[in-house]
Chains A and B, each alone.
Chain A
Amino acid sequence: MQITVNGETVDIADGATLTSLIEQLGLNPKKVAVERNLEIAPKSLYAEIALAEGDRIEIVQFVGGG
C-alpha cells in the first residue's frame, strides 16, 4: 500500500507499523519524531501503530537553527 512520508509517496507492506517504516527508511527511531495524520505518534507506541493506505506521515529531527 501507499502512504505519504514527508511529502513523498512511499510503498510499504500490508500490516506495516511505524517501527517497520522507520526501519525501512534506515532511520534511528531515537533521533526522530513522528506525526501521523497530524497527530503525534509517541515513541513508545511505534510498534503498535499500524499504518493504513493514504496515511500522511511526517518524520522530523533537530537541525541547526537560531
Chain B
Amino acid sequence: MSQIDDNPLLVAGRELKSRLIIGTGKYADYEQNARALEASGAEMITVALRRVNLSDPSQPRLVDSIDPDKYIFLPNTAGCFTGEDAVRTLRLAREAGGWSLVKLEVLSDPKHLYPDMEETMRAAKMLIDEGFDVMVYCSDDPVFAKKLEELGCCAIMPLGAPIGSGLGLQNKVNIRLIVEQSSVPVIVDAGVGTASDAAIAMELGCDGVLMNTAIAEAKDPIRMARAMKHAVIAGREAYLAGRMPKKRYADPSSPLSGLI
C-alpha cells in the first residue's frame, strides 16, 4: 500500500517512509523479532545497551539478526533513573553505533515507569549540549512537551499509557494539544495495546507511533506487526483525509426522492 500525497516523517534530517517505530524487547528470540520487524515495515527500531556476557560471548546478538546498516537503530536509556545515567549510557551507545540520534527516557517509579520530567529536562539539555539528536519520551503534559521542544529535542514522544500496559491512549485531549503546539514530530511512545490504539494516535495527528509490547506479546507477533503497519497507515490517511463532522441524529445515505 502506498501513502499518496504525504510527506515522509522527518526526524533530525532522517526521512522515514514508515511512521511506525518498533521496539526490540520481549520477543521470543531475535529471529522472531527480525520477522516482526519485516512485517511491520518499520525502518527505525529502539535498542537498549547492556553489558556483554563475558562468560558466553557466543550468545545470539541482536545485530546478527537485525542489520544496523538496513535499519535505523535508536538507542534508548531504559533503566536509567538519573540524568547522569542516561548521558553515560548514550555516550556509550554513540560509540557503539557511531550515530547521535537517541531516545532519552529517564524513568521514576518502577510501578508506573512514568518519566521523571525534571531529570528528563536536565538530561536532554546535557545531551543536546554534547551534540546528540534527542527524541524524548515524556509525560503527556503539554507544558513539559513545549519546554523539551524549546530545549532542542528533535521529537516529542508522550506516553499514551504506562510502558508495557497496552491500555491505549488515556488522554487524547493532551496528546492533541501537544500535536497542535509542536513544530517537531510528535510520536506516541508507550501504551498502545492493539491496532485501533495506533490508528487513534495517528487520527489525532501524531506523526508516528512507537510500540514494543503490543507486538512482542501478541499471540502472533508477526501478524500483529502487520496489523500495526496497516493501522498506522489507516490512521494517518484518515487524519489527512479529514473526518466527517459528528452529528447527533441520523442522516440517510440513500436519496429520499424517487421512492416507490
Contact = CB atoms under 8 A, between A and B. Distances in A.
A27 B92 CA distance: 16
Given A6-B52, A64-B47, A33 B95 contact: yes
Contacts of A40: 91-92, 95
Interface residues of A, number: 27
Interface string B39-58: 00000001111111010011
Give the dominant DSSP class at A's interface: strand
Nearest to A10: B54
Given A25-B57, A33-B95, A42-B95, A66 B163 contact: yes
A61 B46 CA distance: 13
A10 B57 CA distance: 15
23 contacts: A5-B54, A8-B54, A27-B57, A35-B88, A40-B91, A40-B92, A42-B95, A59-B52, A60-B49, A60-B52, A61-B52, A61-B62, A62-B68, A62-B73, A62-B96, A63-B24, A63-B49, A64-B23, A64-B26, A64-B33, A64-B47, A65-B48, A66-B164
B147 interface: no
Nearest to A33: B96
Nearest to B53: A6
Given A33-B92, A40-B95, A58-B51, A63 B62 contact: yes
B57 A65 contact: no
Given A61-B50, A62-B63, A64-B27, 19 more contacts: A5-B54, A6-B54, A31-B61, A33-B96, A34-B95, A40-B91, A41-B95, A58-B51, A60-B52, A61-B52, A62-B93, A63-B48, A64-B25, A65-B24, A65-B25, A65-B46, A65-B49, A66-B25, A66-B164
Contacts of A65: 23-25, 46-49, 76, 78, 212
A61 B49 contact: yes
Contacts, number: 104
A66 B78 contact: yes
B63 A66 contact: no
B30 interface: yes
Give the dominant DSSP class at B's interface: mixed
A28 to B, nearest CB: 9
Interface size class of B (residues with CB under 8 A): 35 or more
A13 interface: no
Nearest to A65: B48
A60 B213 contact: no
B185 interface: no
A58 B91 CA distance: 12
B24 A33 contact: no
A38 B24 CA distance: 27
Nearest to A35: B92
Nearest to B22: A66
B52 A32 contact: yes
Contact of A62 (B23, B75, B91, B190): B75
A39 to B, nearest CB: 9
Interface in A25-52: 25-27, 31-35, 38, 40-43
A25 B54 contact: yes
